Amino acid sequence: MAGEMGRQGLGAAEQLRAALGDDMVSTDAAVIARYCQDWHGDVTSSALALLRPRSTQEVSQAVRLCAELGLGVVPQGGRSGLALGAVPDAPEAQVALSLERMDRIRSLNARDFTATVEAGVVLEAFKTKVSEAGLYFPVALGAQGTCQIGGNVSTNAGGVNVLRYGMTRELVLGLEVVLPDGRVLDLLSRLRKDNRSLDLKQLFIGAEGVLGVVTAVSFKLMPAPDQVATALLALDTLDDVIELYRVARRQCCDLMSAFEFMPASAFALAREGIPDLALPLDPAHRAYALVELSGSGLVDIEALLAQFLELAMEEGLVRDGVVAQSKAQARNIWLVREGMNEGQARRGKHLRTDLSVPLSELAAFVAEAEAAVERALPGAVCVSYGHVGDGNVHLNVLPNAAAAETVDQQIDRAKTVLNEVLDRYDGSISAEHGLGRLKKADFAARASSVHSELLERIKRAIDPASTMNPGCQFDLRVDRTGAE
Ligand SMILES: Cc1cc2nc3c(=O)[nH]c(=O)nc-3n(C[C@H](O)[C@H](O)[C@H](O)COP(=O)(O)OP(=O)(O)OC[C@H]3O[C@@H](n4cnc5c(N)ncnc54)[C@H](O)[C@@H]3O)c2cc1C
């Protein structure tokens, strides 16, 4: 049976090469391997072929042919996703389709505050081009040097600026999508207001490639914030951090662009990730908040930050703090936050989560969840941090190397324990990263039957043969003829 599938697979790969050409199709195992690994290297897989189209027409041609051959298509951007959405899981029946060669900015219109950009443009490159035009694209995240616009849209990426500008969805004006049968759905638009019919583009945002391949996106742009003030503050508890956030929300309103929480272990982890990192504050405090205000035009951001900090000190919330005096100092503060991820990665395989609960319950949730993990897994280390203003916490668990249980067993148990607490808070198992292949079972176990049925009907309506990213988000039983 395996040999039979292998022969069929080889035939399909040859057909892809014959029809699409060697420039687009690679069947070199070493090349394919590079595209079939998750960001942390925890999961490796393979695929029948790697397709790298250069235009929407080429994507359309490739997707149509894959549909005819009954092959699954796994769209890929920068492969920085953290839910295994871009990692093929059926090597003989799936191709990886990388958008990386579709990397043109089609238009940038400063007069309209809009841009239209192809899916394979790297987020950071797009942000740089936009800033050269005196404007600003606010999606900002640790992987921005790698992730691509199509991936950002397909995961509805969040990041550090969500509390001011919203998730990626809120910035999308229009999309161009290749549907599972190869047709091109052109919903590219520069209109800010358009209430004609159902807003179909919303279906493809955050869809993790299960309904089609996003080939281009038009975005809203913002005025460039020419004043940015960054502070790192030390506090006693997460409760105090959240109270500080409330004060900042009221006093600084929409000029607050980031508010991140970090735990006591932040500096130690950041130093493990970036050994020569200068520590901006005494590392002995129990909680830290990174606050950034930004604005353009006639406001005075530095003065606003100074007034806010004075108020926070008067309220007794802040124990110590540092305000960046230069861009380099601001960068150094942000490196603590980014270095934490790197430090955790160096501790080896661990549980990474991306949870959300209502802001008012965040501190209680973190305390209860950490206590539950510590009871279930003595010696494991909880690291909780995140975009606290959005009620979003990464409550990660670093397994105990000396425990009798394997790392995988500990990760599994930590996840079960955390999710049990999360369910009591009516929280989300995926605030930002999506379901991918990693969290689909946990989602399915929690979604109501009405919810699941509706999602499945939408999937079947657009992708009846389930060739778009099969195995991601759904485990659908599919009749390959397309009939229900
Ligand atoms: C260090 C680090 C920090 C991160 N910080 C954040 C953060 O703060 N906030 C956040 O939200 N995420 C964060 N992420 C996760 C990740 O960077 C984002 O999810 C990002 O948007 C993924 O983009 P990508 O191009 O790498 O997508 P990929 O990983 O390549 O793909 C992600 C999903 O989108 C699908 N997809 C990709 N391109 C297309 C396309 N053109 N059409 C259809 N489907 C497509 C894939 O099939 C997959 O399901 C972080 C990741 C890392 C490694």
Q: Is 213 in the pocket of ligand 1 (CB under 6 A)?
A: yes
* Cβ of 85 below 6 Å from ligand 1: yes
| Mean pLDDT, residues 164-175 taken together | 97
Mean pLDDT of the chain: 94
At residue 401, the 3 state secondary structure works out as coil
Comparison of pLDDT for 59 and 2, the residue scoring more: 59
Better pLDDT: 7 or 36: 36
Q: Which pLDDT does position 253 carry in this prediction?
A: 86
Query: Has residue 429 got a pLDDT over 90?
Result: yes
Whether residue 333 is predicted with pLDDT greater than 90 in this model: the reply is yes
Over range 385-400, report the average pLDDT: 93
pLDDT at 4 over 70: no
pLDDT at 287: 96
Q: Is 39 in the pocket of ligand 1 (CB under 6 A)?
A: yes
Does the beta carbon of 78 lie inside 6 Å of ligand 1?
A: yes
Segment 150-165 mean pLDDT = 95
* Confidence at residue 10, expressed as pLDDT on a 0 to 100 scale: 54
Q: What is the pLDDT of residues 23-61, one digit of tens each?
A: 999 999 999 999 999 998 889 999 999 999 999 999 999
State the virtual CA torsion across 448, 158, 283, 319 in degrees, nearest 10. Answer: -90
Dist. CA 331–CA 278, nearest whole Å = 11
Selection from 201-205, 279-283, 479-483 with the highest mean pLDDT: 201-205
Q: Classify residue 447 by its DSSP letter.
A: S
- Mean pLDDT of the 445-472 span: 96
pLDDT above 80: residue 1: no
Paired strand residues for 397: 351, 382
Q: Mind listing the pLDDT tens digit for each residue in 114-155?
A: 999 999 999 999 999 999 999 999 999 999 999 999 999 999
Instruction: Compute, in angstroms, the gap from residue 143 CA to the centroid of ligand 1.
Output: 8
Q: Is 273 touching ligand 1 by the criterion CB < 6 Å?
A: no
Average pLDDT of the residues in 459-474: 96
pTM: 0.93
Q: How far is the CA of 199 from the centre of ligand 1 (A)?
A: 23
pLDDT of residue 479: 61
Strand order in the sheet with 72-76: 25-26, 49-51, 94-98, 72-76
Classify residue 229 as exposed, middle or buried by CB count within 10 Å of its CB (0-12, 13-18, 19+). Answer: buried
What average pLDDT does range 428-447 have in this prediction? 96
CB 32 within 8 A of CB 98: no
Instruction: Give Cα separations from 31 to 10, 39, 52, 54 (angstroms).
Output: 17, 16, 12, 18
Cβ–ligand 1 distance for 155 under 6 Å, the answer yes
What would the two tokens of residue 341 be?
Answer: 């991820």
Mean pLDDT score, 199-219: 98
- Residue 484, pLDDT above cutoff 80: no
Does any ligand 1 atom lie closer than 6 A to the CB of residue 154? yes
Q: For strand 105-109 and strand 114-118, is the pairing parallel, antiparallel, or unpaired?
A: antiparallel
Residue in this structure with the two tokens 């390959």, named with its chain if needed: 480
Instruction: Provide the angle, in degrees to the nearest 10, between the axes of the packed helices 362-376 and 407-424.
Output: 140
Q: Which among 45, 50, 89, 147 is the best mutation to test ligand 1's pocket, defined by most ligand atoms within 8 Å of the CB? A: 147
Give the number of the atom of ligand 1 that is nearest the alpha carbon of residue 142.
Answer: 3
The response to whether residue 150 sits with its C-beta less than 6 Å from ligand 1 reads: yes
Q: How far is the CA of 347 from the centre of ligand 1 (A)?
A: 23
Distance 439 CA to ligand 1 centre (A): 15
Say if ligand 1 is within 6 A of residue 99 CB: yes
Give the pLDDT score at 140.
Answer: 95
Percent of the chain beyond pLDDT 70? Answer: 97
pLDDT tens sequence across 260-276? 999 999 999 999 999 99
Question: What pLDDT does residue 480 have?
Answer: 56
Q: How far is CA 300 from the centre of its chain?
A: 32
Q: CB of 436 within 8 A of CB of 208?
A: yes
For residues 201 and 285, give the distance between their C-alpha atoms in angstroms, rounded to a whole number. Answer: 46
* Residue 158 beta carbon below 6 angstroms from any ligand 1 atom: yes
Rounded to an integer, the average pLDDT of 351-373 is: 96
pLDDT attached to residue 483: 42
